[in-house]
Amino acid sequence: MRWRKEEITMSKQVKLSQEEGYTYVDGGVCAAKGFVANGLNCGLNSDPGKNDLGLLYSAQPCDVAAVYTTNKVKGAPILVCKEHLAKNGNQARAVIMNSKNANTCNADGVEKAKEMCRLAAGQLKLQENEVLVASTGVIGQVLPIEPIRAHVEQLAAGLSKDGHAKAENAIMTTDTVPKELAVSFEIDGKICTLGGMAKGSGMIHPNMATTLNFITTDCAIDASLLQKALSEVVRVTYNCLSVDGDTSTNDTVLVMANGEAQNAKITKEDENYRVLYRALYIVMRNLTRMLAKDGEGATKLLECKLSGAPDQNCAITVAKSVIGSNLFKCAIFGEDANWGRVLCAIGYADASFDIEKVDVSLGSAKGCIAVCQSGAGVPFSEEEAKVILSEDEICVYVDLHQGEATAESYGCDLTYEYVKINGDYRS
């Protein structure tokens, strides 16, 4: 398989490719039947126009799959989520979430996270273990529970099908645009929907990143199969995303399936499973691209499309190495076709291949230009390359010519603005 250049748009929104059998729909995490959400400002964020507390709720119990950060330092909310899912048979009904404060590296962190669950459970008439929790923001600052306690009744009372945007706003930190997506599809003659929302702009690097991701579906599927699908899709989407080389402490992906579409429950890896799997991939891949394009200070979405690898592990490793190169990110910011930095990143990837067979091209909506063939530079027009790199979505195509495996990785350029944002992040 060889990659084709994709159509590209000039905005913070990514171009969505249509796929037969799947229809993009509005509503984010509330697009699926039985899910409602809300968000508001409780005072954690001093800007009253910015939500900082959110809630997602399902009318029916949900089978839940989850993936968390690989950082050895894990936020208290992750510890509580793991405990609640273990006690409740991988089921839940709600997620309470906040921004501005990560509730990480605090002596009272677990108790505060549990208190958030108790507060939400009290309003929703649930057991504490039926509520999950997620936080994002500054690490190492004590989370004030009083503002949350004072506003949780209002938060629950405002739950609605239209509340997805408010909940999305509640988890945004340095994000400049919301990140929501949903698709509908058919299983057993029933229309099913799967939708998600994500946050993340900086401190993002494989594996898992400073991202909170909530995905809902009304499709009925066994929790173990849902977990299998999530773990596999994460490997080729979020785990192939890099903004700045830092892996955070609170990264969470939760997928909740409540079965309200009333399809026959998926209990084996049959065609119905594959249909649901593809829907999950479509949503998660595009959310990953949204996260990459909105990287802190970013001016360009950067994608590496790698082909010709001997196996997928090699393909993923090399593609991630390219997208993680800060030198290459800087070159893209400067619209400099410095392809040697691509070869350098390929060369230090922990994978086995013959570098003398590698081809590299750079592409965008303005065209595609070969810069390296068989591991060596080829003559090209710097002026043409400059025009190609002037677009806001850039793709580097790498062909190893040593097999059929492919992979994609996602990132952005590295800019002056990134340093400015992270120089005064706490203020």
Decide which of 238, 262, 293 is a domain's last residue: 293
pLDDT of amino acid 5 = 33
Report if residue 13 sits inside a domain: no
Same domain, 208 and 152: yes
Per DSSP, the three-state class of 16 is coil
Q: Does one domain contain both 345 and 230?
A: no
- For residue 88, is it within any domain? yes
Task: Answer with the one of 293, 314, 336 that is the final residue of a domain.
Answer: 293
Residue 317 exposure: Cα atoms within 13 Å on the Cβ side: 14
* Catalytic one of 210, 288, 317, 406: 210
Specify whether 255 is located in the same domain as 378: no
Please check whether residue 416 lies inside any domain of the structure.
yes
Whether 85 and 152 share a structural domain: yes
Nearest to 233 by CA among 171, 294, 194, 288: 288
Per-residue pLDDT for the chain (427 aa), expressed as one digit of tens each? 233 333 333 346 677 778 999 999 999 999 999 999 999 999 999 999 999 999 999 999 999 999 998 778 888 999 999 999 999 999 999 999 999 999 999 999 999 999 999 999 999 999 999 999 999 988 899 999 999 999 999 999 999 999 999 999 999 987 888 999 999 999 999 999 999 999 875 445 555 445 789 999 999 999 999 999 999 999 999 888 876 555 567 788 999 999 999 999 999 999 999 999 999 999 999 999 888 888 777 888 899 999 999 999 999 999 999 998 989 999 999 999 999 999 999 999 999 999 999 999 999 999 999 999 999 999 999 999 999 999 999 999 999 999 999 999 998 888 888 777 667 655 5
Measured CA to CA, the distance from residue 302 to residue 154 in angstroms comes to 41
Cα–Cα distance measured from residue 50 to residue 155, given in angstroms and rounded to the nearest whole number: 14
DSSP conformational letter for 337? -
Structure tokens at 324: 């993680």
Are residues 343 and 282 located together in one domain of the fold?
Answer: no
Q: What is the CATH number of the domain that holds 366?
A: 3.10.20.340
The whole-number pLDDT of residue 13 equals 66
23 assigned to active site: no
Q: What is the DSSP string of 42-89?
A: -SSSS-TTS--EEEEEEEEEEEEEEEE---SS--HHHHHHHHHHHHTT
Q: Which residue matches tokens 């939400």?
A: 120
Same structural domain, 383 and 408 = yes
- 276 and 306 both lie in a single domain: no
Of the candidates 424, 361, 113, 397, the residue with the CA atom closest to the CA atom of residue 252:
113
Asked whether residue 131 falls in the same domain as residue 250, the answer is: yes
Number of domains in the chain: 2
> H or E segment at 8?
none
What is the pLDDT, as a whole number, of residue 247? Answer: 58
Domain residues for the domain of 209 are: 23-293
- pLDDT at position 124 is 98
CATH number at residue 158: 3.60.70.12
Rounded to whole angstroms, the Cα distance separating 155 from 173 reads: 19
Burial call 50-63: b when 16+ CB within 10 Å, e when fewer: bbbbbbbbbeebbb
Q: Do 174 and 214 fall into the same domain? A: yes
* pLDDT computed for residue 9 by the predictor: 36
Cα distance from N-terminal residue to C-terminal residue, the chain: 48
pLDDT for the residue 10: 36
